[in-house]
Structure 1
Amino acid sequence: MKFKSTPALLFLVMLVAGIVLESFIPFKISIGLFVTSLLVLFFVFIRNKNSIFKNLTFVTWFLFGVVISKIHSIGINASKPISGSAFSSYLVQINSPAEIKPKTYKVEGKILAIKTDSLWQKKAEKTLLYFSKDMGVLPKYGEVYLIKGSPREIEAPKNPLEFNYKAYLQKKYIYTHQFLREGDFKYAGKAPISSLFQFAYGLNNRTQEIFETVFDNPKALGVANALVAGEKSGLDFETKQSYSAAGAVHILAVSGLHVGILFLILKIIFGKILNPKKIWFTVAVLGVLWLYALFTGLSPSVCRSTFMFTLIQLAPLLKRDHNSINVLLVSAIVLLIINPNWIYDVGFQLSYLAVFGIIFLYPRLRNLLEIENKYLRWLWEISLVSFSAQLLTFPLSLYYFHQFPNYFLLTNPIVAILSMLILPVGIFVILLFEVPFIGAFLVYIFKTLIAVLNYLVFYISDLKFSTTTRLELGTYSVILLFMFIGLIIHFFTRRNKLSLIAASVLVLILSVQKIYKTYEQNQSNELTFHYIPRGYGISILDQREANFISTKELIDDPLITQFHLKNYYDHMGIKAETRVSSENRSMLKISKENLKVQWVLDQNAISDLDLTADYLMISNDAIRDLEILKHYKGQIIIDGSNKKWYIENLQEQNKNYNLNLISLYDSGSKTFKI
């Protein structure tokens, strides 16, 4: 790939660099530099200094990235709630369709007004609301509710390397949330809403209603909703894990893949009846594409992908650019100008890398082997498309998910073929569901295809060695891995020996990094007291082996491992795990070489206290009076199973004793070297 044929690449690189590095440049300085660069650029342009103009243009784009990111950050901070602010009640408008959770309906709300000291004040900020399912209330887009109290600020992660949900939501201007139960709210009518979004959410709800009628199997229903309608809340943990292990999890998130499949199908269908060079062909393809975006509720990922393919389709028609890669890059530039924070969105990154891999790498790989049999050739090409996308997304997948599906080359051709059938059939089911005979026939085909897809994915995920886990990569390793892939591609396309030598050096560097990290992990011995809301847990790590002690319920809950432990264990290179239940015990005493941990689980264990232990953890409000611990010199840990009033009471008592007391509710988990 030559830079001359893809001029948008350097503009995109400079824009991204500006967005990422904006925090290092003060706002006023960035504005001043940007305005100055524009003036100098204009002066150079009228003086016809082409070489200077070209270089200065890239500098200006870097500064432009800094400025738009700064302006966007100001918008985020403007919507940030005042620290420590509280009010007696507030009016909130439901601003999204309800997402179905196991025990709640989750919605995004827009706060319209707040009540403080009997006075109402206008407000404009977002919040998350969770309506308990026990109340039988399903909040709908546009509805307004009067809610008692004030939402709480979303807390930062409290366990080592835990996913930072707070930072994730801040990118969407959301800082608070509230769980609502009976008596916490009243319906207050409807407020003016967007007709477009109301129509889109209505279509999405209708789609889900049809699928609920069609499917009686929850797993099949969850996959159908995710694959066709973009609604992932119905997917259970087992299904997500199986699709991830098989290398097919990408089809469960409607984004670039789905829109790309539909785009290809539409071009084939309309290409049979319309002239691809005429405007009506483009109108038909893009019309259906954006209608599908409406069916999925105009989710950001679908809108981004639809916009990307819209530019790809319009470019040849407008005779602006026939280079698909350049059009792809231009679409990324436009979207990042609209919302610079999308550069941090995992879906955005993976979607663009996958499409770039297919556009750039696939044509070059396809010519490496000539296959005469059309069926084998088709299978070869489908496999290459999957490989091209997987190769470019591989480093980021390891960085975010720490695992690799070993059988992805087996899974992806199957998934691609079935997706190309399921998606259009699913759309026709939605459109023709109530048509006699035709609707029933389409439903039968649709259910069969979903059943076959699930069977094959679950079968592949259950194969031995289907997934390689604990593949944690740091930022520098990801950069080196991308460089290695680029050099290997350059070697095979240009036959450049220097590229192969450089790639070999990178392999050596990555290998040394891995050996050194493994050595460090083998020397690590840690004791971690985890913060688990309304629960407790201890991890004892000894040379890449982990013992996790908790209640049987939490040990058996895969979400606890996925959310609270996985990233930590991956980072420490854990190769063996043991789960120990604390069930039916009043006291746990853990001794290991020079380590003594005493865990009080019940008030009945107070008489058996050993005040020589290094660590004393209190659970379930077990010790009410610190008087019995006044001579204890070790570390006292109060975990998440204790009630808040109880924790505050112990902290108040401790003012008289000055013990080494830590509340995990306040500090988050604590790790000690042992």
Structure 2
Amino acid sequence: MKRWAPYPFVRIALSFIAGILVYLHTGKAFRYSLELFAFFVSVYLVLYLVSRRLKSVEGNTLAGIAGLLCFVAGGMWVTHLHTDSHYPNHLGKLSGIPAYYVGVVDDYVVQKPGHQNTVLQVEQVQVNGQWQAAAGKVQLSIPHDSNREYELGYGDRLLIKGTPLPVAPPSNPNQFDYRAFLANKQIHHRHFLQAHQFQKIDSDPSNPVLSFSIYLRRQLDALLKGSIDERREYGISSALILGVKDELDNSIRDAYAQTGTMHVLAVSGLHVGLIYGILAFLLAGLKRTAKQRTVYAAVILGVLWLYAFITGLSPSVLRAAFMFSLITVAMVSKRQHNIYNTLAIAAFALLWYNPYFLLEVGFQLSFLALLGIVYLQPRFYKLLEFDNKLVDKGWALFTASLAAQVATFPLGLYYFHQFPVYFWLANLLVVPAATLVLYSGVAALFFSWVPLLSTVLFKIHFAITWCMNEFNLLVNQLPQAVINGIDISPTQTWLLYTLLMLFILFFAYKELRYFALATGVVAVLATQEILEINAQQNQRSLVVYNMRNATAFSFLQGQQATLVSSQALAPQNYTFNIQPYLWHKGVQQADTYTFTDAPATAIGHTLLPDSNSLYVWQGKRLLVVSKPLKVQPLPDFEVDYLLLTQNVRIKPEALQPFRFKQLVLDASNAPWYLQRLKPQLTEAGIAYYDVAEQGALVVDLPPQARN
């Protein structure tokens, strides 16, 4: 085994990360992290002094362990400090309901069709007519229908009428947990404003550097938009160079995601690395003397941080700029640097700044990709040798892409449930093309004040961007370009990484014990998969989904499902609300029908004389009422679920003749309708299930007995 001595910062970073994870997974209920940190610091100091006096190996070892425990406790303490919900004046702990509140725009303003999104840092609230100090962040959605591109900006102080509401949990099973996503950013409330509900008081940016960075990025983005006519190419250019994704076309975004090249559109370590690479190449001769090395470092650090500045100082760019800065400083000072220690220092510094970066998908994927490239790429590259320099460069690029994909493979499956089959082909050409897009775009912006030259550079930039987009679309149309519907659990993700590490150890040290352990992990994964498939083959469920302004329900048996909806669902609506649950249940694609279609033969469907529908499946009866009831049920006829939809005009007494086990109000009903109907149902003594308020109704039936 390799000794840990050359990697002190790796040990420190891993201990700090362990502390963050311990805090997050104890439910954030532990309130004595500072005391725990002080205790371990005291223990470390005592053990350190004792070990210095005794000069024993055991004493040094115990002191080292205590030192690492200090960083574990430090990770817990720092995470506690960055958890806003602990503040006594947080929005979630107010004694009353705010009528008004004041806050400052504390994030970028994201432009969407018809509205803008941003984050407000609350300063004061008015409760029971009294103003009081308050803390917390609110995600604002603001209507936007003026000619101005941005109604608001970073640092604007707003007076808002109304009450921010807690972020709702996922409304459908296995849906993306947007509440947890926002909570990791310390945002626990949302407010959808009308134009008359807010007023700008003044502007007071808390961070002038960030304020000017955002302003500069907007100006450069406007320059790109004015110089690139095609919306598709402008969206790619703005996302790739500046990190602005407001107008990124959905179809092209999906194409990049499904070819495994989405990383080129997220301004990150790749882009900083490309800037660093061209600078290191151009300034290679400035390393002979101490003065030249100082100039070399000053130019590289200046350009790297300028690029970070114009891209809005995003965490991914800060991470990469910080890491390459460390490499540059170590290089010019002629000190030996270890890339693993450099990565560990960058991770530690960023997590100290904000421990919740650890939960960001981009943070996890970028560090894993870098580790894969650093360790695996040289080993892959040595497998084949080519005399031709062009082929050799292509092989180096291919092995870098392969190494990054291997390192991020389990996490990619867990988060995105898909695997791009032709990632190797797409990255082979898209990464060099993205490099040219970046260089040409930066050059065009830099020389934008030179009339003829800027026109030529922007045309070159547009041509390369267009070719890159067309190539991605072509790869995406290849047969079996992406494998969808892969659903793995966190445990399986950890097992896959354990398997990867065991294979790496086996090939590195040629010891059979690692291969034997890897075989055991494969056996565990195979057993889990067999048990999961067996359970899925015997599953049965009925789900009424929470779909705004639409009705949708599914009948699932085994690994087959039938989806019935009031109208044809938009692909994005289906993908976001329904597909995650079906994939989790092992269903690749449901058979879809509307109310006017005849569903599968396994489902009984009767269109009643009043145009309502009765569905019979697995002995369960579902009566879907979208028109006023004009039929009378038979005396012994009982319905399991009576579903009221589409603001149907009905009074509770009209339901009295029907025998049903549960009344369901779905999300196709308008809020005003539900506010009027629910008190009437309560007064009539009729219990109901409100899908819009309580989330999707999921009915799991027991497995069907086998003959």
What is the TM-score when the length of structure 2 is the normalising length? 0.90
> Deviation digits for residues 67-96 of structure 1, max 9, x if unmatched?
222232356545443358433333333233
Alignment of 1:476-625 (within 5 A): 476-552=491-567, 555=569, 557-582=570-595, 586-603=611-628, 605-607=629-631, 612-625=638-651
Contact persistence 2:422–2:481 (CA under 8 A)? yes
Change (3 A) 1:249 1:444: same
Rounded to whole Å, the distance in 1 between the matches of 2:95 and 2:476 is 48
Q: Give secondary structure in 2 for the equivalent of 1:265.
A: helix
Rounded to whole Å, the distance in 2 between the matches of 1:587 and 1:225 is 50
What is the alpha-carbon root mean square deviation over aligned residues? 2.4
Alignment of 1:256-295 (within 5 A): 256-272=269-285, 278-295=293-310
- Aligned counterpart, 2:250: 237
Rounded to whole Å, the distance in 2 between the matches of 1:11 and 1:237 is 41
Change (3 A) 1:321 1:349: farther
> Deviation digits for residues 406-432 of structure 1, max 9, x if unmatched?
011111111211121111211112221
- Aligned counterpart, 2:678: 651
Contact persistence 1:156–1:164 (CA under 8 A)? yes
Tell me the CA shift for residue 474 of structure 1.
0.8
> Deviation digits for residues 617-658 of structure 1, max 9, x if unmatched?
111221531112235232111011212243233332333443
- Aligned counterpart, 1:171: 184
> Deviation digits for residues 534-574 of structure 1, max 9, x if unmatched?
33321221221222222435x1x222123212321221111
Q: Is 1:56 the counterpart of 2:83 in the alignment?
A: no
Contact persistence 1:135–1:181 (CA under 8 A)? no
Rounded to whole Å, the distance in 2 between the matches of 1:510 and 1:158 is 31
Corresponding residue to 1:121 among 132, 135, 140? 132
Q: Is 1:65 the counterpart of 2:78 in the alignment?
A: no
- Aligned counterpart, 2:155: 142
Tell me the CA shift for residue 528 of structure 1.
0.7
One-letter code of the match for 1:637?
V
Rounded to whole Å, the distance in 2 between the matches of 1:13 and 1:564 is 37
Rounded to whole Å, the distance in 1 between the matches of 2:631 and 2:307 is 67
- Aligned counterpart, 2:104: 93
Rounded to whole Å, the distance in 2 between the matches of 1:76 and 1:437 is 58
Aligned length: 671
Rounded to whole Å, the distance in 1 between the matches of 2:642 and 2:316 is 48
Q: Is 1:11 the counterpart of 2:5 in the alignment?
A: no
- Aligned counterpart, 2:601: none
Change (3 A) 1:77 1:119: closer
Contact persistence 2:15–2:68 (CA under 8 A)? yes
> Deviation digits for residues 20-65 of structure 1, max 9, x if unmatched?
1125386455444332221121111112221221222222222222
Tell me the CA shift for residue 246 of structure 1.
0.8
- Aligned counterpart, 1:382: 397
One-letter code of the match for 1:389?
A
Rounded to whole Å, the distance in 1 between the matches of 2:525 and 2:674 is 47
Change (3 A) 1:192 1:420: closer
Tell me the CA shift for residue 240 of structure 1.
1.8
Rounded to whole Å, the distance in 2 between the matches of 1:84 and 1:103 is 35
Q: Give secondary structure in 2 for the equivalent of 1:614.
A: strand
Tell me the CA shift for residue 583 of structure 1.
6.3
Corresponding residue to 2:223 among 199, 210, 213? 210
Rounded to whole Å, the distance in 2 between the matches of 1:149 and 1:569 is 38
Contact persistence 1:275–1:281 (CA under 8 A)? no
Tell me the CA shift for residue 667 of structure 1.
1.2
Change (3 A) 1:405 1:158: same
Tell me the CA shift for residue 98 of structure 1.
1.9
Q: Is 1:305 the counterpart of 2:315 in the alignment?
A: no
- Aligned counterpart, 1:43: 46
- Aligned counterpart, 2:346: 331
> Deviation digits for residues 245-297 of structure 1, max 9, x if unmatched?
11111112111222222222222222255659712212211211111111111
Structure 2 unaligned spans of 5+: 53-58, 598-606, 702-707
Change (3 A) 1:384 1:276: farther
Rounded to whole Å, the distance in 2 between the matches of 1:44 and 1:201 is 49
Q: Is 1:663 the counterpart of 2:666 in the alignment?
A: no
Structure 1 vs Structure 2: percent identity of aligned residues? 27
Contact persistence 2:87–2:135 (CA under 8 A)? no
Q: Give secondary structure in 1 for the equivalent of 2:252.
A: helix
Q: Give secondary structure in 2 for the equivalent of 1:128.
A: strand
Contact persistence 1:524–1:542 (CA under 8 A)? yes
One-letter code of the match for 2:623?
Q
Corresponding residue to 2:655 among 629, 650, 658? 629
Deviates more, 1:9-18 or 1:325-334: 9-18
Rounded to whole Å, the distance in 2 between the matches of 1:655 and 1:525 is 31
One-letter code of the match for 1:133?
H
Contact persistence 1:606–1:623 (CA under 8 A)? no
Change (3 A) 1:152 1:522: same
Contact persistence 1:598–1:613 (CA under 8 A)? yes
- Aligned counterpart, 1:348: 363
Tell me the CA shift for residue 2 of structure 1.
4.5
Rounded to whole Å, the distance in 1 between the matches of 2:73 and 2:130 is 44
Contact persistence 2:323–2:346 (CA under 8 A)? yes
One-letter code of the match for 1:459?
L
Rounded to whole Å, the distance in 2 between the matches of 1:385 and 1:75 is 42
Contact persistence 1:357–1:388 (CA under 8 A)? yes
One-letter code of the match for 1:59?
L
> Deviation digits for residues 473-522 of structure 1, max 9, x if unmatched?
11111111111111222222333333223222222221221122111112
Tell me the CA shift for residue 671 of structure 1.
0.6
What is the TM-score when the length of structure 1 is the normalising length? 0.94
Rounded to whole Å, the distance in 2 between the matches of 1:127 and 1:74 is 12
One-letter code of the match for 1:439?
S
- Aligned counterpart, 2:376: 361
Tell me the CA shift for residue 609 of structure 1.
6.6
Contact persistence 1:226–1:232 (CA under 8 A)? yes
Rounded to whole Å, the distance in 2 between the matches of 1:368 and 1:458 is 31
Structure 1 unaligned spans of 5+: none
Q: Give secondary structure in 1 for the equivalent of 2:650.
A: coil
Tell me the CA shift for residue 318 of structure 1.
4.8
Rounded to whole Å, the distance in 1 between the matches of 2:583 and 2:258 is 16
